[in-house]
Chain A
Amino acid sequence: MTRIELTVDGARVSDDVEPRMLLVHYLREKLGKTGTVIGCDTSNCGACTVHLDGRSVKSCNVLAVQADGAEVTTIEGLAATAGTDGHLHKVQEAFHECHALQCGFCTPGMIMQSVDLLNDNPNPTEEEIRLGIEGNLCRCTGYHNIVRAVQTAAGTGGAQ
């Protein structure tokens, strides 16, 4: 067991973990942050995307011990961390507004990646959006409305 201390969604947490524990398992099983989900075992699907020290990562591809000392934001803390005063983050709003989710399983990861994309590039083109979320698989929406949602959140083109 290794002792880790980190900040998750604004709260300081500390636990003894097995070195082999993945960050996503730590979030789900130790902290009950089940909003972050697991969709594959090869890091292709991106469903487990969270922010680690402000940048998007696939939390299945990070050991919990590697996150020692880091700041993690999950879908559950996104709005509060962004200081939206109890409201949704603008990307969450846009996903709702543009019907960018159906079953919703990929949605937490898709939203977290979209937020990262807009942090990096506040005015992306459609192509930049599509490439920016290429590490996140969705099986329901055909991506059409996800692209619209990111455009809407960016203010670079509306729902269609």
Chain B
Amino acid sequence: MTAVQDSAQETSTTEIGRDRRRKEDQRLITGRTRWTDNITLPGMLHLAMVRSPYAHAKITSIDTSAAQQATNVVAVYTGADLDESAGVLINAWPITPDQKTPNHPPIPADRVTFAGEIVACVVARSAAEARDAAELVDVEYEELPAALDLKEAVAADQSNGVLAHPDLGTNKSAFWKFDSAEAGTGGDVEEAIAKARNDGVLIEREYRQQRLIPAFMEPRSVVVDPTGEQLTMWSATQIPHILRFALAATTGVPESKIRVIAPDVGGGFGGKLQVTPEEWTAWWVARQLGKPVKYTETRSESLMAGHHGRDQWQKLTLAAEKDGTVTGLKVELTADLGSYVSLVGGGVPVLGAFMFNAIYKFPAYQFTCQTVLTNKTWTDAYRGAGRPEATFAIERLMDELANELGVDPLEVREKNWIRHEEFPFTTVAGLEYDSGNYEAATEKAKEHFGYDELRAEQQRRRDSNDPVQLGIGVSTFTEMCGLAPSRVLGSLDYGAGGWEHASVRMLATGKVEVVVGVSPHGQGHETAFSQIVADRLGVPFEDVEILHGDTQISHKGLDTYGSRSLVVGGEALVRAADKVIEKAKPYAAHMLEANPDDIEFQAGRLGVKGTDQSVALTEIATAAFASHDYPEGLEPGIDAEATYDPVNFNFPHGTHLCAVEVDTETGQVKMRKYTCVDDIGNVINPLIVEGQVHGGLVQGIAQALWEEAVHDESGTLVSASFVDYLVPTAADTISFDVDHNSTASLTNTLGTKGVGEAGTIASTPAVVNAVVDALRPFGVHDVQMPCTPERVWKAVHAGDGGGTTEAAAPHFDAATGETGQTDRSAGADDPGAPEEGAGA
């Protein structure tokens, strides 16, 4: 060990802000990956599921004998075979004490509650043989009426209408309310509405948030190895830690005997924020048979049985003065849970409850939400979870208000938004926004976009009755992310905290091993966290290794969702790294024969103030490893860990501007230009941030234009393959104009804000606003999402936006010919059409 001269006055931030190429890429671009489905273990058995074709039915009998006798079939199980050790699927967020929460077994024994629910499983020596035998399982059902339409379901009771779970006596699961007058955060919304009705402007609308499917690219897969004392589960999950807790809590195996590994995970978007019947079934089967078991779903199974997202009706009342100053907002939501209350499904609308007031200074606000059980696939988080719904509603309303007043949509926003000098600002929903600059983001976005020129072109097209009209959509969004302060979660009756954990291990060779509790599935944590640690500890980026996603390595964490990894997990990491430095100081003092109080850290070295004597942190790590000579009273080693509980949410914002061309002859909407200026605070890696925004934008645009999970009148998911669930391709999208503006967040040391959901939250209303804007001359005030060509065309011709697609039939089944499903005009359903749905 040598004390060398501290040569350079290096800045301590050489990595943060750099567009480092990702450490994760090498294995992914060469195919040396470890997806769960790649895992093969000696003697491994394969599972195939038998799923219900009915949305609601009694299981009257299941004959498994033919399947049991098939070649290489090891076992066939039905719901009746499951015992207590199979556990149940849990709801971690009962949003009210009296929430109705149906029991959710991995495989029901007597009654199926949605089409696609598992009724039996076959275990065989190969996946092909398991699938073959699954076809031999003979299930007899007695079909029951299915509760399908959300509005009908909410009105049903024991004597009238159809119940998804007749034993509950109602389809209503929970009613949740926030009122600013009651909470003391604002005025009485009814007063504001009454006043606006008399002498102001009242905007009353009802919007539909269609049902969506997360559609991550990697189908879910699970492998369970019960060999030996410990049970190991590999799962394509976002939440290895929560999964381990839930397995332990419901199946009676102590956590210490459970190891959950999320290996390479191919996307999630909330869709893998779940504990699933497939995981629980594989777990139970592996334990029954004492053999490793694998289950990988097909895409159709994924679309049918993986949880869906959104699916709300939003009844909205916005009160304003004649000058455009908003005086109150009332929100009445009805949210479709599907047939079970999933892990956090009931809470998704509640996450939106605090965001309807968005960036605005509304004086009065009321939010209510009724969650409803139906016989459809369960719903839960999908990218943004609650906040896209809120942002859509308010940004659509602000456009409607602008239209009503005959002013530019940006003008009415500016009139109501929080000015940058007003931060910190406590909103009518009770949140404290720490920072932001809506003016700056908007100004920059307008400039990039060429707002005035496009408005001029729009006018020209209107004047010339161009069959292709131009529409300009605005969305000035904010969101709350960085889930979440544990005390807030506690006040909302969530079943866990919102803290995060990290540990920093200084290895003997001078390398740094970091263990984090968040669990990435495409976000680039290995790269961004390496940058943070490299700066914090003054070590080379390449010398930092980030470990995650394995509960045996990362014993503590709450995983990845809600744009929390950087703002919560990153803060835990910063604090752990800072502790390492603090622990190293007495070592440095000892090595340099100085007073610990005189030691200061800079650029990877600990030196004695006012001298040129210093020692590298990595040298201290080596010395601490040997521990031949260390300060009296200390423990060997300078490793440290930190658990961080955020004090507040985090509020990224931005201004998104979208131009679309609408072909009024066909209804086709074509993206023309998209500009966004997001304020996500300080940026760790601009390349990764832009990638998150691009991807988020397309998912949000897809909700506006393309995607919808549609059920037919019997409750079968019609859009059950990628033929009919329209995930966009490269040919459907455009290059984006993405920039950012930075006001540092005050909620974390690095000044960062979450970015994972921003693009999705912001873009949906920007696009729909653009479509409606294009069609204003035709008297159109709304087009229901997705804005299909048919809906747009019908809106143009009806002049009221009332056009909806009524017919539902998949192309794929029709394309088979031999199946006999030749009638493509059969079936009619619109999830929102009140005359359709339940009954039968």
Contact = CB atoms under 8 A, between A and B. Distances in A.
On whether A and B touch (CB less than 8 Å), the answer reads yes
Interface of A: 18, 20-21, 28, 33-42, 44-45, 47, 74-76, 79, 88, 92, 95-97, 99, 101-108, 111, 126, 129-131, 133-147, 160
B614 interface: no
A133 B732 CA distance: 11
A104 B33 contact: yes
B699 to A, nearest CB: 7
Q: Which of A105, A126, A134, A141 has the most CB of B within 10 A?
A: A105
A79 B30 contact: yes
B730 A134 contact: yes
B779 to A, nearest CB: 33
Interface in B24-73: 24-33, 35, 37-38
Given A20-B128, A129-B730, 18 more contacts: A34-B37, A39-B218, A39-B219, A44-B721, A88-B30, A95-B29, A97-B21, A102-B691, A103-B522, A104-B29, A126-B735, A137-B729, A139-B699, A139-B727, A140-B217, A140-B691, A142-B699, A143-B730
Given A103-B265, A104-B25, A74 B721 contact: no
Contact of B217 (A28, A97, A106, A131): A106
B441 interface: no
A39 B721 CA distance: 11
Interface in B208-262: 215-219
B695 A37 contact: no
A103 B216 contact: yes
Q: Which of A45, A107, A108, A140 has the most CB of B within 10 A?
A: A140
> Which among B523, B524, B730, B812 has the greatest number of chain A C-beta atoms within 10 A?
B730
A99 B21 contact: yes
Contacts of A160: 735
Given A104-B28, A105-B266, A145 B691 contact: yes
B696 A142 contact: yes
Contact of A35 (B33, B522, B695, B736): B33
Given A133-B730, A142-B736, A146-B730, A45 B217 contact: yes
A101 B692 CA distance: 10
12 contacts: A39-B218, A74-B31, A103-B216, A103-B218, A130-B733, A137-B729, A139-B215, A139-B217, A141-B691, A142-B696, A144-B733, A160-B735
B676 to A, nearest CB: 12
Contacts of A136: 729-730
Contacts of B28: 101, 104, 107
A145 B300 CA distance: 28
Interface in B485-540: 521-524
A104 B24 contact: yes
B723 interface: yes
Contacts of B735: 126, 144, 147, 160
Contacts of B812: 42
A10 to B, nearest CB: 15
Interface of B: 21-22, 24-33, 35, 37-38, 128, 215-219, 264-267, 269, 298-300, 521-524, 687-688, 690-692, 694-699, 721-723, 727, 729-731, 733, 735-736, 759, 812
Given A76-B32, A141-B695, A142-B694, A103 B521 contact: yes
A139 B523 CA distance: 12
B33 A34 contact: yes
A52 B402 CA distance: 57
A135 B690 CA distance: 24
Contacts of B723: 42, 44
Contacts of B697: 142
A144 B693 CA distance: 10
Contacts of A142: 694-699, 733, 736, 759
Given A39-B218, A42-B721, A42-B812, A101 B29 contact: yes
B299 A42 contact: yes
A20 B132 CA distance: 12
B272 to A, nearest CB: 10
Given A99-B691, A102-B522, A130 B299 contact: no
A96 B699 CA distance: 22
A143 B687 CA distance: 14
Contacts of A33: 31
A142 B691 CA distance: 8
Contact of A37 (B25, B35, B521, B733): B35
A102 B523 contact: yes
B299 A144 contact: no
Contacts of A145: 690-691, 694
Given A34-B38, A92-B30, A143 B217 contact: no
A105 B688 contact: no
